[in-house]
C-alpha cells in the first residue's frame, strides 16, 4: 500500500464510495483483487456489495471503466470455472506461473477477458484432486495437418463416409460434405435419401454416392426425429459401428469398434439408447453435443440433469459423458471442451488404430478411481458462429481430420490422439469463422452464413498449419 501511495495512487478508505464513483464514470481503471486463488464459493456479503455498483454500470465494453483482475475475477472457481454468485467481468486478467481452470473452463472463462500469464519462476502446482485442463496452441495442432506429397492420392488423403441430411433438413448434408471437402478429404461418400443426394451433388459434384470403404464416418447431421425410416438406417449404422452387426442396411462400410466416427445431432439420442442397452463407444468415437444434447444424453444414461445444470458445470458434465460412454466428447460452447479416455497405443503387429498419449500429471482427471481422462479447452471462435448449420460444418471438419489421421496410421505413420484431432477441428472451425466474419477482436466483425465457413476452410488450414504466406 505504501508503494502504491508513493507511485501516486490515492487510497480510498471508503471503498464503497470509490466503487460508486467508478460506476458513475469518475474512474478509468478498476483493479479487482478482492479474493485470491485460495477463495472458494460466492463473494461474501461485503465484497458482493462493492461489486454491485460496478456490475450495474453496464456490460464489458460499454461501461465507463476497464477492469483488470489479479489472477482471476473474484468469485470464480479457480479449478472448476464455477460461478456461484455475482462476478465483475474483467477486460484483462493477469495470472501468475500458469493458467488456472477459471481461465479455461466456462462459465468463468467468459468473465476473464484477455488473459496474460506473468512468469514468476515458480514451480507448477500439482493438486491431484483438481480437474486439470490444458489448451493446446495452434502451432501444436497445426502439426497434425499434412501437406500431401507427390505419391499421395485420394485414398491416402482420407475417405469420409457421410450419413447426413433428411427430407426435412437436406441442407445439413450440403454443409457437412462441403466442410469435409474443403478441409482436404481425399473423397467424401454420401448415403442419404434421394432428394438429399441430388441436392448435395448439385452443390458438390466431387461427392461420391457409390458405397465403399471409408476411414472415418460422420453420422447424424440433419437428422429428422420424425423420419422413422431414416432413423432406422442411422441406427443400423451405429449398430455396425458398435459391433452389434445388422445386415438390414449398408452403404459405405464402417469397420466396427475403433474405426473413427463422428456422432452428431440426432444420432446422439439413437446412440444413447444403444449405450443404455449395454453397448460402449471406443475412444475413436467422437460425440459432439451442445449443452441441451449433453443433458439429454446424460439423462438417458441415468444421470438426470438439465441444460442449465450442464451450462453451470460443463467440465464435470463432459468428463461424466466420456466416462459413461467410453468415447471422446466435444461439448460445444464458448470455449468448447474436449474430454476423452487416455488409452495405450496399439500393440506391435495389431491393426493401426488411434491412441491417446500415456497418462501424465497434465492430463489426469484426478484420483477418483475412474479411467484416466484428458480434458482440453479450445477457443471456439467468435459469437458470429451462432447460426444455423454451423454445427454441420464442424462435423464435416472433424470427419476430414479424423480420416486423414486414420489414413496416416494405416500406412505406418504415428498414432494420433483423438482429442488433439478434435481440438484441431474446433480451431479450424473457429479460424474459418474469424476469416468469414472479419472478426479480429471482441465486439467486431460481420454476420456470416454456414457456407461462408466452408468456403474459408482452405485459408483456415493454411493459417493453423503455418502455410500462409
Q: Tell me what pLDDT residue 39 has.
A: 82
Name which of 93-97, 105-109, 415-419, 428-432 the model is least confident about.
Answer: 415-419
Q: Tell me what pLDDT residue 357 has.
A: 30
pTM score > 0.85 for this model? Answer: yes
H helices within 301-417, ranges in order? 307-312, 314-325, 390-410
Is residue 143 within 8 Å of 136, Cβ to Cβ?
A: no
Q: What percent of the chain has pLDDT over 70?
A: 89
CATH class of segment(s) 2-118: alpha beta
Q: Is the pLDDT of residue 321 over 80?
A: yes
Q: Is there a binding annotation on residue 3?
A: no
- Per CATH, which fold does 138-465 belong to? 3.40.1190
Q: Tell me what pLDDT residue 252 has.
A: 64
Q: Is there a binding annotation on residue 333?
A: yes
Q: Is there a binding annotation on residue 183?
A: no
Is residue 211 within 8 Å of 250, Cβ to Cβ?
A: yes
Q: Is there a binding annotation on residue 119?
A: no
Distance CA 109, CA 89 (A): 10
Q: Is there a binding annotation on residue 172?
A: yes
Q: Is there a binding annotation on residue 246?
A: no
C-alpha cell at 138: 495452434
Q: Is there a binding annotation on residue 389?
A: no
Q: Is there a binding annotation on residue 346?
A: no
Q: Is there a binding annotation on residue 391?
A: yes
Instruction: Name which of 345, 328, 458, 358 is nearest 409 in CA terms.
Output: 345
Distance CA 399, CA 405 (A): 10
Sign for the pseudo-dihedral over CA of 337, 221, 147, 434 = negative
Q: Is there a binding annotation on residue 336?
A: yes
Please write the tens of the pLDDT for every residue from 171-229: 999 999 999 999 999 999 999 999 999 999 999 999 999 888 899 999 999 998 888 99
Highest mean pLDDT among 107-116, 122-131, 349-358, 438-447: 107-116
Domains of the chain, by residue range, sit at 2-118, 138-465
First to last CA, the chain: 50
Amino acid at each position: 500500500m505504501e508503494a502504491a501511495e508513493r507511485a501516486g495512487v490515492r487510497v480510498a478508505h471508503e471503498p464503497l464510495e470509490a466503487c460508486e464513483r467508478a460506476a458513475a464514470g469518475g474512474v478509468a481503471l478498476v483493479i479487482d483483487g478482492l479474493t485470491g486463488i485460495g477463495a472458494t464459493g460466492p463473494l461474501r456479503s461485503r465484497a458482493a456489495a462493492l461489486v454491485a455498483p460496478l456490475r450495474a454500470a453496464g456490460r464489458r465494453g460499454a461501461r465507463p471503466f476497464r477492469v483488470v483482475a489479479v489472477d482471476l475475477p473474484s468469485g470464480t472457481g479457480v479449478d472448476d470455472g464455477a460461478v456461484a454468485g455475482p462476478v465483475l467481468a474483467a477486460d484483462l486478467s493477469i495470472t501468475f506461473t500458469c493458467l488456472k481452470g477459471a481461465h479455461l473452463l466456462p462459465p468463468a472463462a467468459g468473465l476473464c477477458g484477455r488473459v496474460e500469464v506473468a512468469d514468476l519462476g515458480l514451480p507448477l502446482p500439482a493438486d491431484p484432486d483438481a480437474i486439470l485442463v490444458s489448451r493446446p496452441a495452434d502451432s501444436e495442432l497445426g502439426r497434425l495437418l499434412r501437406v500431401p506429397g507427390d505419391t499421395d492420392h485420394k485414398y491416402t488423403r482420407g475417405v469420409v463416409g457421410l450419413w447426413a441430411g433428411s427430407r426435412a433438413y437436406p441442407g445439413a448434408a450440403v454443409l457437412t460434405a462441403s466442410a469435409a471437402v474443403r478441409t482436404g478429404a481425399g473423397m467424401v461418400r454420401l448415403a442419404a435419401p434421394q432428394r438429399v443426394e441430388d441436392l448435395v451433388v448439385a452443390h458438390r459434384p466431387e461427392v461420391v454416392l457409390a458405397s465403399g470403404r471409408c476411414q472415418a464416418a460422420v453420422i447424424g447431421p440433419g437428422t429428422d426425429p420424425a423420419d422413422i425410416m431414416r432413423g432406422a438406417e442411422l441406427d443400423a449404422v451405429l449398430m455396425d459401428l458398435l459391433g452389434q452387426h445388422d445386415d438390414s442396411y449398408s452403404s459405405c462400410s464402417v469397420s466396427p469398434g475403433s474405426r473413427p466416427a463422428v456422432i452428431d445431432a440426432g444420432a446422439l439420442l439413437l446412440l444413447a439408447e444403444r449405450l443404455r442397452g449395454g453397448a460402449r463407444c471406443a475412444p475413436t468415437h467422437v460425440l459432439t453435443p451442445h449443452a441441451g444434447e449433453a443433458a439429454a444424453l446424460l439423462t438417458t444414461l441415468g444421470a438426470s440433469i438439465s441444460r442449465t445444470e450442464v451450462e453451470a458445470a460443463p467440465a464435470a458434465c463432459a468428463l461424466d459423458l466420456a466416462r459413461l460412454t467410453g468415447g471422446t466428447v466435444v461439448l460445444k460452447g464458448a470455449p468448447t471442451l474436449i474430454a476423452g479416455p487416455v488409452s495405450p497405443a496399439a500393440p506391435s503387429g495389431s491393426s493401426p488404430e488411434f491412441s491417446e498419449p500415456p497418462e501424465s500429471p497434465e492430463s489426469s482427471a484426478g484420483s477418483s478411481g475412474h479411467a484416466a481422462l484428458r480434458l482440453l479447452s479450445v477457443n471456439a471462435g467468435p459469437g458470429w458462429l451462432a447460426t444455423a448449420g454451423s454445427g454441420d460444418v464442424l462435423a464435416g471438419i472433424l470427419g476430414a481430420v479424423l480420416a486423414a489421421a486414420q489414413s496416416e496410421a494405416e500406412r505406418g505413420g504415428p498414432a494420433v490422439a483423438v482429442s488433439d484431432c478434435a481440438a484441431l477441428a474446433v480451431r479450424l472451425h473457429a479460424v474459418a469463422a474469424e476469416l468469414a466474419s472479419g472478426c479480429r477482436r471482441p465486439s467486431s466483425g460481420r454476420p456470416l452464413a454456414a457456407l461462408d465457413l466452408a468456403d474459408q476452410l482452405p485459408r483456415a488450414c493454411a493459417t493453423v498449419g503455418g502455410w500462409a504466406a
